[in-house]
Amino acid sequence: MPELPEVEVTRRGIAGPLKGAAVLRVRMGKPLRWPLGREPESLLGQVVGDISRRGKYLWLPLASASSGSASGSASGFASESASESASESVSESFARSVPGGLLMHLGMSGSLALLPQDVQPGPHDHFDLCTDRGTLRLNDPRRFGAVVWSAGLDELPAAGLLRHLGAEPFDPSLTPQSFHAALQRRRAPIKAVLLAGDVMVGAGNIYACEALFMAGIHPGLRADRISRPRAQRLLQALRLTLARALELGGSTLRDFTDVHGMSGSYQTHAAVYGRAGQACGQCGNPVRRQVQAQRSTYFCAHCQRR
C-alpha cells in the first residue's frame, strides 16, 4: 500500500508541472471506492492550484480561470529544518478554505502518472484529469483508491475523511511531550497505535517496523507503558525513517511507482522489514516475524525490549 512517503513523492512529482494547468477533459473508468460527487463535465475549464497532502490524501484545488488561480496549502510533509522555520502549523495551513477541488487517495495499489495527452488508457487506468500540460492518470488494479470532489477541506466529504488523522510527522506542534501524552491515552500495542494514524500519520507497516527497531522498542509493548525518554527516541526514529524513505523515493513492494514510472528503493535498505530469519545487523540474532492485527511485524527480540 502506498504510504505517506510514497504519496509525498507523488505530490512533489505533480505539483510543479500541474500548477496553473487548465482542465480540458475528465475520463472516468471503472468505479473506484467512492463516486466522484459531481458531473465530470463541470470540471472543464478549471485551473489547478497548489497541490498539497494530508496524511495519505492528496488535495488538488481547482478554481475557474476567471476567479484567478486556485490556491491550496503547503504540503503536510516537510524536512525537519523546513518545519522549524514554519510560521504556522501544518494542520492550520492545510485547513485554509479553498474554492473546491479533488481529494485523491491511492488505496491499496494505486499510483499516479503524468503522461502526454495522447497516451491511451489501459485496463487498470480508472481516472484521467486531462489538462493543457498533460494527463494525470490514476492506475489502480484493486480499485480501492478514490477521487472525490469536495467544495472545501472543511466541508464534507473531505472534512469527514480527514477528521481523525493525527499530526503530521514534522509538524512543529508535534513535540516529544505531546507525542508521549498521546501515547499515554492508548492501551493498545505501540505498533497498532502507530498504524492507526490518529496519534501521528505516516507510519505505515514498513516504516513502523523500522522506526521501532531504531528506537529499540518491542512492537508488542503497550503504548501507555512507554516512558517519556523512549517516546522521544521513537518520535526521532519515526522522523528519521520517514525522511530517509522520502530521499529514496519511498518503497515499492508490488505496484507503486512515482509519476515518472520509477520504483522506490527504501525497502532494499530496511534493517528488519522482510528479513525474517536473517541476522540482525546490530546483534546477529535472527530477525523475527509475527502477525499483529493481520499485518506482518518484523523485529529483533534482543534489540527491542518491552
Question: Which of 19, 244, 289, 295 is flagged as catalytic?
Answer: 295
For domain 176-299, is the CATH number 3.40.50.460?
A: no
Same fold yes or no, 4-162 and 176-299: no
Question: Which of 2, 5, 189, 219 is flagged as catalytic?
Answer: 2
74 secondary structure, DSSP code: P
Q: How many Å is the Cα radius of gyration of the chain? A: 20
For residue range 57-87, list pLDDT tens digits in order: 999 999 987 655 454 444 444 433 333 333 3
2 is catalytic: yes
From its phi and psi, is residue 204 left (phi > 0), alpha (psi between -120 and 50) or beta?
beta
Residue 266: pLDDT above 80? no
295 is catalytic: yes
**Claim: this prediction has a pTM higher than 0.75:** yes
Going from N- to C-terminal start, the domains of the chain cover 4-162, 176-299
Residue 269: pLDDT above 50? yes
Q: What single-letter amino acid sits at 268? A: T
Helix (H), strand (E) at residue 169: none
For residue range 85-128, list pLDDT tens digits in order: 333 333 344 434 346 999 999 998 899 999 998 899 999 999 99
Residues 6 or more apart from 262 whose CB is under 8 A from it?
Answer: 249
For the chain, the first-to-last Cα distance in angstroms comes to 28
4-162 homologous superfamily: MutM-like, N-terminal (3.20.190.10)
61 is catalytic: no
Question: Which of 53, 54, 56, 230 is flagged as catalytic?
Answer: 56
Question: Which of 3, 6, 8, 210 is flagged as catalytic?
Answer: 3
